Amino acid sequence: MHLVLVDGSGFIFRAFHALPQLTRKSDKLPVGSVIGFCNMIWKLSEDLSGDDAPTHMAVIFDYSSKTFRDEIYAEYKQHRPPAPEELVPQFPLTRAATRAYGLPSIEMEGYEADDIIATYTALAKDVGGKVTIVSSDKDLMQLVEPDGSVRLLDTIPRPGQPPLRWIGSDEVFAKFGVGPEKVIEVQALCGDAVDNVPGVPGIGVKTAAELINTFGDIETLLSRTAEIKQPKRREALETNAELARISKRLVTLNRETPVELPLEDLVRQPVEPAKLFPFLKAMEFFAISKRLGTLLDADPEAWPADPELAAKPAEPVGFDNNARAEARAARQSAEGRADSAPVLHAKLEHEKIKAIPLDHSKYEIIRDAAQLQRWIDAAYAEGIVATDTETTGLDNQTADLVGISFSTAPGNGAYLPLGHTEGHGDLLGGGMAEGQMDLRAALEQIKPLFADRSILKIFHNVKYDLGILARYGIEVRSFDDNLLLSYSLDGPQFNTMGELSDHWLGLAGMSIKELLGSGKTQKTFAQVPIADAAKYAAEDADLTFRLWKVLKPRLVAENMTTLYETIERPLAPVLARMEGRGITVDRQILSRLSGDFAQRAAALEAEAYELAGSNFNLGSPKQLGEILFDRMGLPGGTKTKTGAWSTGADVLEDLATQGIPLARTIVDWRQLTKLMGTYTDALPSYINPRTGRVHTTYSQHSVLTGRLSSNDPNLQNIPVRTEDGRKIRTAFVAPAGKTLISADYSQIELRVLAHIADIQALKDAFEEGLDIHAMTASEMFGVPVEGMPSEVRRRAKAINFGIIYGISAFGLANQLGIERSEAGEYIKTYFARFPGIQDYMAEQRRKVKADGYVETIFGRKVNFPNANSSHPAERSFVERASINAPIQGSAADIIRRAMIRMEPALKAAGSDAQMLLQVHDELIFEVDEGKEDAVMPVIVKTMENASEPAVRLTVPIKVDAHAARDWDGAH
């Protein structure tokens, strides 16, 4: 017998990377890799003819459930790169293809393809058969037999080499320096960075082979380390004996997996047109169909498309009918099993890193080009370097570069000082400090390293460094960001490097505050003596490297790779560019408004003193409360949790309607002074003298749900609701010759709710383009939309928002100024009219209590550590927040994806429009005057399609766009 075992997952990835991303015509399903897979399978059966023809054959896959995250997880166990999202839907299709070609498709939960291959190989050998494993995976080389009965076949085309390359005992020896039977011993010693095998640090393939050839195996070697002459090598082996043993466990394939199909069932079957053509037709592979029709002498037209696979409207992917639910159940039932390889790897890395002591004496100060070159060379040798820029401030649009630090391995570090001044610490500063490289020369030398795609640069908060480096003409390709890794894994619980290293490494690290001082005497980093600066900066790079070694493996172990690699990491440079562009703010407009507001506020102030009968600080809620409720003795006063009188706008509004004119005066005064203090007076101070524009800073890692936040200044809360407030928006303008475009998602959160909770009535309403609040009102109160009183619609709108916020009768009553019982009735009616909402809410409550987190449709986890708090109020709060988080968060994910794709989309359309701002469901652009009409459709389409193809929403997404000279006009 001759058994041929095909490494199916290897074929898929090979097809994906080698071929264009074709899609199925009728529904744009990605199928390029399926086409490649089919062709490879067919070609293989043509190649293996005559003496090499198989009597038995099967295609083996890594196990995968139906969700893309589980797919990635399974592929990761095989140590392959993360699955790109276009590839995900193609995994199940390649299984179907295998069956269509008459081959058994084999995969097993809990086992890698390699284990199954090892098992069938052993079974075939037992009966004296010959085995060919179609794969180029070196992990399978341990199965090769010196007598030629088991060989690998590498079919991947390589230039200058024959199309088919057999790998027997000699080829294995060439690669590992030992025969197949010792391959696992060598692999256990030298490890493999890509394969998650730790190995023994400092031992490569050559050394490993030498040791195994001398001692025979790992155990003998470990028992006789005293005979090893090189002290470093001996020490490495002695301290890492356990790592070597664990590594051997990781690399050894399991030859006794409980396979379900007996060998007899793998007997080669002829291709059946009745199986093949319905598949090809459903896939719409008409060219292949025609070719095989000729070869098999069959008429492809005689069979209908397989209805299971043919194009059709996508299934809803809501919370309860999502395959993810099945995957979750599978994961839960698997609890208690031994750690998977990625989890084990992450734990091992963490332990190893924690054991490395912090030693400042190992750090270097880089003084000249030769020394800098040694660090650059080290970065090239490792393929990876942690780095950090030191600057004179926290705002990367104004701060100057002072130095750059590097670390190429945990424990080492170097600081390159470039802009330190003679440290008098006074305002005059002094000249440049001695012993620093010329800034320009050093940057020219470093530039290629940062631009090199093959060298991974690790940062903490890369967006800051990208902004600084861009201003110095340095481009960064290939990077990781610990802050974003931490955010992807744990949410916004850690902000600074100090917090991360304290938590994960148990290391405090030097404090920047001690270095710079505080208050009046605070220095900039440029004024810190180089020797002190170097300790701090090099340690920063060192800790950055260490943290990366802890955090990065967790991505795979915890299935957060897709979120990080397809959303968080690519977004950072997009935000850096938006921050760098800034937006023009017209000083004159703000100044005029400020004068107007100040006059009116002064008049109101005088009026308030008159009405109150005394002068007091209008800005003091404390004094106001005492006047209103103690001195004037007005009814309706409530106390805040600290016992102070409550004087919020709603309280004052109440008093005003009860005929207290002072209350109205205060409300109006507060509005005007708020507008002055926060906007008309504050914004001009943010105009950057270098660019003449206002540059906000976005925080990508601060919001629980996945939204961005904006600060210094916050451009996400520029007023819009009142007439006076909107005037501030007229100061945000396009420069001469340009126009602003605002594009905003219409009702995105309600649409997301309709999708994830699968509310048919809501979906239908969106499909028909109805006024959603009026439709809700009409459903609930039985009032026709035509001629509906505005109050009825207002109530329905409040309820819709209430649902998104995790409604409570208390909150709704507050919002609408009605009785709690009445609000409760509204909610009951809503639930009755829109069945599904309650199920959604119940599911989120259940999940957050059981798991401690809920998820967005893109797999972002939102953690609630207090879900089972003993405080009822806190528990209720978590319940509402856990209902809101998937809605707000999924909408946030969608716009993040839109932003990532926007620049390439604009470029592809030949537009030079620039994305400036994001306000949660709105994007602001600047575009050449006259180009608005051309670019708006591109923007709208990119935003509307942003969830695809990862998530096919079951509601339409709508985006409105407007162009005008200023933000008020465009909105």
Partner DNA sequence: GCAAGGACGTA
Partner DNA sequence: GTACGTCCTTGCA
User: For residues 284 and 744, which CB has a smaller minimum distance to DNA in the complex?
Assistant: 744
Tell me which residue of 213, 220, 211 sits closest to 189, measured CA to CA.
211
Q: Does 619 bind DNA (CB under 7 A)?
A: yes
User: For residues 8 and 492, which CB has a smaller minimum distance to DNA in the complex?
Assistant: 492
Residue pair 388/541 in contact (Cβ under 8 Å)? The answer is yes
User: For residues 149 and 678, which CB has a smaller minimum distance to DNA in the complex?
Assistant: 678
User: For residues 60 and 807, which CB has a smaller minimum distance to DNA in the complex?
Assistant: 807
Structure token pair of residue 792: 């009825």
Residues in 713-752 at the binding interface with DNA, rule: CB under 7 A: 713-714, 716-722, 725
Specify the DSSP element, H or E, that contains 57.
strand 56-60
Cβ of residue 883: shortest distance to DNA, in angstroms? 8
Cβ of residue 877: shortest distance to DNA, in angstroms? 5
Residues 246-265 as x/- pattern, contact with DNA by CB under 7 A: --------------------
- Site residue total, DNA (CB under 7 A): 73
Q: Does 802 bind DNA (CB under 7 A)?
A: yes
Phi-psi region at 852: left, alpha or beta (left = phi > 0; alpha = psi -120 to 50): left
Residues in 880-909 at the binding interface with DNA, rule: CB under 7 A: 880-881, 884-885, 888
Cβ of residue 964: shortest distance to DNA, in angstroms? 16
Tell me which residue of 147, 176, 16 sits closest to 80, measured CA to CA.
16
Please state whether the peptide bond connecting residue 949 to the residue before it is cis, i.e. omega within 30 degrees of 0: yes
Q: Does 821 bind DNA (CB under 7 A)?
A: no
Residues in 622-681 at the binding interface with DNA, rule: CB under 7 A: 622-623, 625, 640-642, 644-649, 652, 667, 670-671, 673-675, 677-678
Length of the chain equals 971
* Cα–Cα distance, 8 to 59 (Å, whole number): 5
Helix axes 323-333, 68-77, angle to 10 degrees: 40
User: For residues 90 and 696, which CB has a smaller minimum distance to DNA in the complex?
Assistant: 696
- DSSP code at position 635: S
Contact residue for DNA among 269, 294, 814, 868 (CB under 7 A): 814
Apex CA 415: angle with CA 428 and CA 423, to 5°? 20
Residue pair 802/788 in contact (Cβ under 8 Å)? The answer is no
User: For residues 445 and 709, which CB has a smaller minimum distance to DNA in the complex?
Assistant: 709
Residues in 474-493 at the binding interface with DNA, rule: CB under 7 A: 492
Please spell the DSSP secondary structure of 817-836, one letter per residue: T--HHHHHHHHHHHHHHSTT
User: For residues 407 and 863, which CB has a smaller minimum distance to DNA in the complex?
Assistant: 863
Contact residue for DNA among 806, 836, 859, 886 (CB under 7 A): 806
Q: Does 495 bind DNA (CB under 7 A)?
A: no
* CA dihedral over 532, 535, 538, 540, signed as positive or negative: negative
Contact residue for DNA among 236, 799, 906, 917 (CB under 7 A): 799
Contact residue for DNA among 409, 851, 877, 958 (CB under 7 A): 877
Contact residue for DNA among 702, 730, 746, 760 (CB under 7 A): 702
Stretch that binds DNA, among 31-39, 120-128, 401-409, 918-926 (CB under 7 A): 918-926
User: For residues 510 and 804, which CB has a smaller minimum distance to DNA in the complex?
Assistant: 804
Q: Does 529 bind DNA (CB under 7 A)?
A: no
Stretch that binds DNA, among 148-156, 171-179, 392-400, 808-816 (CB under 7 A): 808-816
Residues in 681-700 at the binding interface with DNA, rule: CB under 7 A: 682, 699
Cβ of residue 211: shortest distance to DNA, in angstroms? 53
Cβ of residue 495: shortest distance to DNA, in angstroms? 10
Cβ of residue 634: shortest distance to DNA, in angstroms? 14
Contact residue for DNA among 315, 532, 712, 960 (CB under 7 A): 712
* Cα–Cα distance, 805 to 876 (Å, whole number): 12
Contact residue for DNA among 280, 812, 854, 894 (CB under 7 A): 812
Cβ of residue 697: shortest distance to DNA, in angstroms? 8
- 745 bridge partner residues: 959
Cβ of residue 567: shortest distance to DNA, in angstroms? 17
Stretch that binds DNA, among 75-83, 131-139, 285-293, 708-716 (CB under 7 A): 708-716
Task: Read off the amino acid at residue 363.
Answer: Y
How many angstroms from the chain centroid is the CA of residue 849? Answer: 24
Q: What is the largest CA-CA distance in the chain?
A: 109
User: For residues 112 and 966, which CB has a smaller minimum distance to DNA in the complex?
Assistant: 966
The number of C-alpha atoms within 13 Å of 235 and in the hemisphere containing its C-beta is 4
Residues in 164-223 at the binding interface with DNA, rule: CB under 7 A: none
* Cα–Cα distance, 757 to 841 (Å, whole number): 8
User: For residues 410 and 491, which CB has a smaller minimum distance to DNA in the complex?
Assistant: 491
Q: Does 711 bind DNA (CB under 7 A)?
A: yes
User: For residues 122 and 704, which CB has a smaller minimum distance to DNA in the complex?
Assistant: 704
Residues in 314-343 at the binding interface with DNA, rule: CB under 7 A: none
Tell me which residue of 257, 3, 297, 211 sits closest to 115, measured CA to CA.
257
- 481 bridge partner residues: 459
User: For residues 411 and 621, which CB has a smaller minimum distance to DNA in the complex?
Assistant: 621
Over its C-alpha atoms, the chain yields an Rg (Å, rounded) of 33
Going by C-beta distance under 8 Å and a sequence separation of 6 or more, which residues neighbour residue 840?
Answer: 318, 319, 320, 753, 756, 757, 758, 883
Going by C-beta distance under 8 Å and a sequence separation of 6 or more, which residues neighbour residue 111?
Answer: 63, 254, 257
Q: Does 620 bind DNA (CB under 7 A)?
A: yes
Q: Does 229 bind DNA (CB under 7 A)?
A: no
Contact residue for DNA among 524, 705, 844, 911 (CB under 7 A): 705
Specify the DSSP element, H or E, that contains 853.
strand 853-855
* Cα–Cα distance, 350 to 501 (Å, whole number): 12
* CA dihedral over 272, 306, 29, 322, signed as positive or negative: negative
In three-state secondary structure terms, 858 is coil
Structure token pair of residue 709: 């936040």
Cβ of residue 144: shortest distance to DNA, in angstroms? 55
In three-state secondary structure terms, 862 is strand
User: For residues 69 and 670, which CB has a smaller minimum distance to DNA in the complex?
Assistant: 670
User: For residues 570 and 621, which CB has a smaller minimum distance to DNA in the complex?
Assistant: 621
Stretch that binds DNA, among 104-112, 159-167, 324-332, 802-810 (CB under 7 A): 802-810
Helix axes 273-283, 286-295, angle to 10 degrees: 160
* Cα–Cα distance, 656 to 650 (Å, whole number): 10
Residues in 392-451 at the binding interface with DNA, rule: CB under 7 A: none
User: For residues 316 and 719, which CB has a smaller minimum distance to DNA in the complex?
Assistant: 719
Question: H-type helices in 452-568, by residue range?
Answer: 462-471, 482-490, 497-505, 512-516, 530-557, 561-563
- 2 bridge partner residues: 130
Stretch that binds DNA, among 411-419, 572-580, 873-881, 944-952 (CB under 7 A): 873-881
User: For residues 254 and 398, which CB has a smaller minimum distance to DNA in the complex?
Assistant: 398
Q: Does 960 bind DNA (CB under 7 A)?
A: no
Residue pair 56/1 in contact (Cβ under 8 Å)? The answer is yes
φ/ψ of 801, rounded to 5, equals -65, -40
User: For residues 412 and 918, which CB has a smaller minimum distance to DNA in the complex?
Assistant: 918
User: For residues 342 and 719, which CB has a smaller minimum distance to DNA in the complex?
Assistant: 719
Question: Beta 738-745 vs 922-928: how paired, if at all?
Answer: antiparallel
Q: Does 26 bind DNA (CB under 7 A)?
A: no
Task: Read off the amino acid at residue 778.
Answer: S
Classify residue 167 by burial, with Cβ atoms within 10 Å: 0-12, 13-18, 19+. Answer: buried
Stretch that binds DNA, among 296-304, 543-551, 575-583, 913-921 (CB under 7 A): 913-921
Q: Does 36 bind DNA (CB under 7 A)?
A: no
Residues in 288-307 at the binding interface with DNA, rule: CB under 7 A: none
